[in-house]
Chains A and B, each alone.
Chain A
Amino acid sequence: EPEVTQTPSHQVTQMGQEVILRCVPISNHLYFYWYRQILGQKVEFLVSFYNNEISEKSEIFDDQFSVERPDGSNFTLKIRSTKLEDSAMYFCAWAWREDEKLFFGSGTQLSVL
């Protein structure tokens, strides 16, 4: 399976600041997802993205969040004004087809102070 690189691996930010988390997949022909995991808790779905548009989003994914592929390669998750409760590990994930085996990137640990 193609590797998916996430950057940065760790991000520390002040409450209210904007952060951009990046994922570098390999192919354009994939379904992409963002998930998050608050420390010690289960993995939660945030959003799915295919063909340059959001296909599904969770109730967590409010107006503070956005996703895009700005240059056709990077897949980004932006949090406009971070809150303390946004502290979590954020994973991008991908699948060859919808409803198929899901693969996760290495994750970005976000700490909001």
Chain B
Amino acid sequence: GIQVEQSPPDLILQEGANSTLRCNFSDSVNNLQWFHQNPWGQLINLFYIPSGTKQNGRLSATTVATERYSLLYISSSQTTDSGVYFCAGNYNQGGKLIFGQGTELSVKP
């Protein structure tokens, strides 16, 4: 079946550090999205990024659809960035998203 692989699975950072999270997918995706799940379990949509690059404050994302990967950059990390980051996409018509296993980020003060 379709695979969405995220790396690294875990990441520990010191506050202020930068990081790059990667999402590889086994087939072409139609609407790659990045989500942050905070420690309370809430899922927040960070980016809708089927291709190209977007920036939102300290976060930015790049999707290279032809090479089947997406990257999420976090700069000057803060403790509130802690949580699990998921990428997800769909592979056919329709809104069904297939999620990766996530990258668990812990930012230490």
List residues of chain A with CB under 8 Å of any chain B CB. 31, 33, 35, 41-45, 48, 55-56, 58, 89, 91, 95, 98-104, 106-107, 109
A45 in contact with B41 (CB, 8 Å): no
Closest 6 CB pairs of A and B: A101-B48, A104-B43, A43-B99, A42-B99, A45-B96, A98-B95
Contacts of A31 in B (CB 8 A): 95
B45 in contact with A102 (CB, 8 Å): yes
A44 CA to B1 CA in the complex, in Å?
A: 14
A42 in contact with B95 (CB, 8 Å): no
10 additional A-B pairs beyond A43-B88, A100-B48, beta carbons within 8 Å, are A31-B95, A35-B97, A41-B101, A42-B86, A91-B43, A99-B30, A102-B88, A103-B45, A104-B43, A107-B43
Interface of A is mostly: strand
Once A89-B41, A106-B42 are accepted as A-B contacts, the answer to whether A44 and B48 lie under 8 Å apart by CB is no
Q: Is B102 an interface residue (CB 8 A)?
A: yes
Using a Cβ–Cβ cut-off of 8 Å, how many residues does chain B contribute to the interface with A? 23
Contacts of A35 in B (CB 8 A): 97
Contacts of A33 in B (CB 8 A): 95-96
A56 CA to B97 CA in the complex, in Å?
A: 11
Q: 1/0 per residue B76-91: CB within 8 Å of A?
A: 0000000000101010
A101 CA to B31 CA in the complex, in Å?
A: 8
Contacts of A106 in B (CB 8 A): 42
Contacts of A89 in B (CB 8 A): 41
A35 CA to B90 CA in the complex, in Å?
A: 14
Once A42-B101, A100-B48, A102-B33 are accepted as A-B contacts, the answer to whether A95 and B95 lie under 8 Å apart by CB is yes
Q: Is B52 an interface residue (CB 8 A)?
A: no
